[in-house]
Structure 1
Amino acid sequence: MDKQRAEEIAHSPDMKHVTYNGTPIYIQHVDDVTDTARIFSLTQPENEFDVPVTSLIEENTTS
């Protein structure tokens, strides 16, 4: 995923289907300087961490 799309998703009021290493996540914030995203797993929201934006994948939910 590119940084601009990650920022759009982070600011969107709609829940998007994004994964990190196959795990559904929520993007809290994108750091413009380091090109990282602050994320947490939807199953473990208390476990926040930073990952490279390029490691995030937006899942296509259209049939």
Structure 2
Amino acid sequence: MDEQRAQEIAHSPDMKHVTHGGTPIYIQHVDEENGTARIFPVDQPEKEQSVSVNSLMEH
């Protein structure tokens, strides 16, 4: 996924189906300068982490 699309999803009021390593995730914030996204699994909000935007997959 590219940074622009990740940014659109993060700001969208609708929940999109996005995964990281096969796990459904929620995109909290996108850092376009570094190409990273702050994410957490949909069912585990306490497991927040920063990952490469390129590792996210929209379904």
TM-score, normalization by structure 1 = 0.91
Structure 1 residue runs of 4 or more that deviate by more than 4 Å after TM superposition = none
- Aligned residue pairs total 59
Counterpart in the other structure of 1:20: 20
User: What is the percent sequence identity of the aligned residues?
Assistant: 69
Q: CA RMSD in A?
A: 0.5
Query: Gapped runs of 5+ residues in structure 1?
Result: none
Task: Output the CA distance in 2 between the equivalents of 1:4 and 1:19.
Answer: 17
Task: Output the CA distance in 2 between the equivalents of 1:48 and 1:9.
Answer: 17
Q: State the Cα distance separating 1:55 from its structure 2 match.
A: 0.3
Q: Computing the radius of gyration over CA atoms, which structure comes out larger, 1 or 2?
A: 1
Query: Gapped runs of 5+ residues in structure 2?
Result: none
TM-score, normalization by structure 2 = 0.97
